[in-house]
Amino acid sequence: MMMTIRKYRSPLPEYEVESTGIRPNHDWTFQMKKSVIIQEDEKAEFDCFVVHRSLNEPIIVRWGSLEQAYCRTEPLEQFHINSKKGYFHGHRKYFHTLELLWFNVNVDILMKRMRQTESDLHVLQWRHGCEVVQEGDEVKFSKGISEYGYDGENFLSFDNKESQWVTSVDAALPTKRKWDNVPILNMYTKGYLEKECVDWLNKFREYDNEELRKASPPDVRVFARKSSDESKLKLTCLVTGFYSEDVTMTIRKYRTSLCENEVESTGIRPNHDGTFQLRKSVEINENEKSEYDCFVSHRTFKEPVIVQCGN
């Protein structure tokens, strides 16, 4: 069962919504409640969108309409099993139990389809998420990922563009047909990957930026040592103690950046305390060292740091 609160028919991100989660009723059925604080004069803009495999189409309830309830007496075997065991293990362990049961039930189904025995170890994996691209200050959807693997091999994956499941494995065809036969669930999966998943990534990105703003800025150092050629110095720029890897550092002569192919770089490397460092070096004439500086930009700096050789 899937339920979202929508504004102008667009689902609100889950982090804006308070949810009780799925909870058992006294009669072995379940309930779920979601809430959000809204402006009183905007209540007509919101609705509740509910999808369940027992429904021919989603239920949409707008503010001010009658409360709706839907009952179905047809037994759903797997859901019934999950209800009993989830309840008796207590509320705290309910979701963990539900996931374990889901994986156990489906591994059993796959083993029977493939005529495998319980004497061997079998692994069912699920990967679910989205990829985004950076456009200015925003991230935008690029690719959705919802795929299953069985015993280390690709088994079933969701085609986000076509809104259907795809597989090249015969044993996965019954599952593909069953899931594709409920198009509203495929629509929900597509919507989650393209909208809600991206909203979550944006939220985590905001948290990351906030942590960076609180973090101490990295140290920038410049030093020069004798080169193997006695007439030259090896000038080194070092930036260390940063958490995010998106640091930019260039060695400049007369405030003009040297080409990267002229500079030796260690690349970004980890420090012992979980921070990172980057070091770049170049050979220069000893009498020209005052002409060079190190230019570093990072999100924790209000403006770039420029350190001249000898300072």
What residue ranges of the chain have pLDDT lower than 50? Answer: 65-95
CA dist., res. 117 & res. 254, Å (int): 73
Q: Is 190 helix (H, G, I), strand (E, B) or coil?
A: helix
The structure tokens listed for 197 are 């998943």
pTM, two decimals, is 0.45
Pinpoint the residues of the chain covered by CATH 3.30.500.10.
Answer: 123-214
Res 80: pLDDT = 33
Fold of 123-214: 3.30.500
| Segments in the chain forming alpha helices (H) | 77-88, 94-113, 173-180, 183-191, 197-214
Describe the strand order of the beta sheet including 124-135 as a list of residue ranges. Answer: 124-135, 138-150, 153-159, 164-166
Helix, strand, coil distribution of the chain in percent, nearest 5: 30, 35, 35
Q: Is 278 helix (H, G, I), strand (E, B) or coil?
A: strand
The structure tokens listed for 29 are 């059925």
Res 76: pLDDT = 35
CA dist., res. 259 & res. 139, Å (int): 30
Res 138: pLDDT = 77
Q: Is 229 helix (H, G, I), strand (E, B) or coil?
A: coil
Res 214: pLDDT = 65
Residue-wise pLDDT tens digits, 42-74: 888 888 988 877 777 788 887 654 333 333 333
Pinpoint the residues of the chain covered by CATH 2.60.40.10.
Answer: 219-308
CA dist., res. 129 & res. 197, Å (int): 7
Residue-wise pLDDT tens digits, 194-242: 988 888 888 887 777 776 666 678 899 998 888 888 788 999 999 998 8
Fold of 219-308: Immunoglobulin-like (2.60.40)
Cα 89 to the center of its chain, rounded Å? 30
Res 110: pLDDT = 85
